[in-house]
Structures are given as C-alpha cells and as structure tokens.
Amino acid sequence: MSTYRAFQVSGQGTGDWALVERELTAPLPGQVRLRVEACGICHSDALAFMGIIRPDASAPIVPGHEVVGVIDAVGAGVNTWNVGDRVGVGFLNGHCGECDFCRRGDFVSCASQPLTGTTVDGGYAEVAYARASGLVRIPDGMAATDAAPLLCAGLTVYQGLQRAGARPGALVAVLGIGGLGHLGVQYANKLGFRTVAVARGTEKAELAKRLGARHYIDSLAEDPAEALRALGGAAAVIATATDSRAMASLVTGLAPHGRLVVLGAGLDPMPVLPGDLLFAQRAIVGSLVGTPVENEDNLAFTRDQGIHSMNEVLPLSEAPKAFERMMSGKARFRVVLDAHA
C-alpha cells in the first residue's frame, strides 16, 4: 500500500479533527517505520490537541504517544532492530546521543528529542515513525492493547516510585485513583510498599483495596494529611491527580525527609509554605517517564507481577470519540485505540 489512514488535529484551542490519507514514505536515517497495532490515549495528548507546545500550532499533527506496532522498514544506520520486531514508542521519540545531557547519560532530558504525538506524528494512525533510540521491546505474549497504556502511564508511575527513594515496607500514598492512580496503587503494592490510596469520596474505596491499597483515605470526609500523620507519615506521596491544591495539601502528611512526587500536570500554582518543607526536610520533585530500557524493565515487571491497566478499547476509526471519552474523566480508566478493529 502507498498510503495509510491517520487522524490529525490542527489549530490552537480548537483542535480540529481530520481523517486523512498520508503518503507512505521510507524511514529517515536512524528511524524505523511501524505498522501500528494499538495506541493508548493519554491526558497529555491534549498538548497536541490544544496546540500548547507544538512549534507551529497551525500545522497538523497526529496525536498519540502510547504506540505499539511491528517494524516494517528500517532506515539507514539502524543495526539493532529488524523488520518484524514488535516494539513500542512512548512520549519520548528517541534521544540524539550527542547533546550534553545525552553525553552524561541523561537521555530523558535530551535537548534534541522529538515528542511523539506532540512535536512529531504519533499513533492515532495505521503507521508511525520513530527514532531507533526511542524503541521499547514488547514482551512476547503481551497483547498490544494491554501494553500500550503501560508505555507512558505505567512507566510514569513506575519511575515516579523509583525516584521516591522510599525503602521497602515504607508508607507510600497514591493521590488520585484514575488513569495513573489505579496503576500507581498496583505498582506501589507490588514494589513492597505499605500503600495508601487517597481520593475524593468512597466510590473507589473497594477498588483501591482490590488493587492493593492497605488503607483508603476519603479526602472529603477527613483531612488527608492528618490521616497520613496518624499512620506514621508517608515516606512518599505519588501525586497522580492534576489538582495542585490537593497535591499541596498532602505535604504536611509526609514524614521527615518525605517526598511529594508530582506526576499530574496541574495548571495552577501549588500553594506550599516554605516552613513545611524546611523544618521536616521534605521535598517536592517532578518525574517524567523514563528511558526505553527502563520501559522494558517496567513491562517485564508488570508481566511478572500481574499488573494490569483497566482499559476501554475502541477502534481507530473512533479516535475523536475515544479522545473525548478520556477527556470527560468518565473512562475506567484508560482508553486504547485498536488499529485492527
């Protein structure tokens, strides 16, 4: 075939959808071409939809950065990947290997890294392209629709927990039981932490316990920071919600030297008293996904520990509907496009 279908968006603030036929081209040097099997829909796809960080918001872009597919062509200079390999591509489309950050081994902070589905075309399509340095090997037997959300959502909470610096058996709280949080509770439990789920209302209490939470804190019924202190104080809070005030309210629930790890991209300032950090030597840190090999560790861990993303699967042809479903907050809990449906 000489063309492939793709959903693209253009404009800033409007996000006008168009189903288009793209010309099939050979991958550039250092790139591979994938036949997409599945693509997860992430809240960060709104960055492309709204034109927030695109270099030219008027230019069309194909969203989607939780891409699973099969390589069907490799560009010049690609020696470690072959046609037929089953791979994934996350938010980071591949580091350059030449900038100062890459030379120091910090591939996540690469100064010349395309962002899948935001600065370069992503996976709401039948075909996608990626740098070979950004590829993640998909474990044998893992379904594409299962693997896709783990490439960003799963990796985000997995790496956030790694960066929390908590010892096994420590009290770790997960704020928000949604697309990220329902995975965060599972990861925290399987990593050996005493896991606390924090959410509004009691609707998700039973689910949180099934996913591995030992304690559930209803932030509408009690002060969550006070409840954490009553449990001894949290070594870490993994903040998956996007409510900046809700994140800030848990700082005083941290034990001395505790960390608030911010994963949710809230748009409002976070009101925190400097003394609440200073006198208990607490810290607030951000965590952004991870490297491809860390993503492979993540996929292997989820497979071996029985961690699963709870997904609603829709065909690629319903990408606009699927995106709106995710943005509505009503999905339980991730939405995934199946390119073969």
For 104-126, how does the pLDDT look when each residue is reduced to its tens digit (9 = 90+)? 999 999 999 999 999 999 999 99
At 148-179, the pLDDT tens digits run 999 999 999 999 999 999 999 999 999 999 99
pLDDT confidence of residue 231: 98
Give mean pLDDT, residues 217-222. 98
| pLDDT, position 223 | 98
Q: Assess contact for 195 and 185: CB atoms under 8 A.
A: yes
What's the rounded mean pLDDT across residues 125-135? Answer: 98
Segment among 111-115, 212-216, 223-227, 326-330 with least mean pLDDT: 326-330
Residues 90/149, Cβ–Cβ less than 8 Å: no
Is residue 130 pLDDT above 70, yes or no? Answer: yes
- Does residue 143 register a pLDDT over 90? yes
pLDDT band at residue 59 under the 50/70/90 scheme: confident
CATH of domain 3-152+290-338: 3.90.180.10
pLDDT range class, residue 267, cuts 50, 70, 90: confident
Tell how strand 194-199 and strand 171-175 pair up.
parallel
pLDDT at 13: 65
**What's the rounded Cα separation, in Å, for the pair 2 and 153?**
33
**pLDDT at residue 275 tops 70:** yes
Q: Where are the domains of the chain?
A: 3-152+290-338, 154-286
> Which architecture characterizes domain 154-286 according to CATH?
3-Layer(aba) Sandwich (3.40)
The pLDDT assigned to 14 comes to 61
DSSP 300: H
Beta strands in the chain (DSSP E): 3-10, 16-23, 31-41, 66-74, 86-89, 127-131, 135-137, 171-175, 194-199, 215-218, 234-239, 254-262, 283-286, 311-315, 334-338
Amino acid at 337: L
Structural contact between residues 11 and 17, judged by C-beta atoms closer than 8 angstroms: no
Average pLDDT over residues 8-37: 91
Residue 8 in contact with residue 62, Cβ under 8 Å? Answer: yes
How far is residue 37's CA from residue 152's CA, in Å, rounded to a whole number?
16
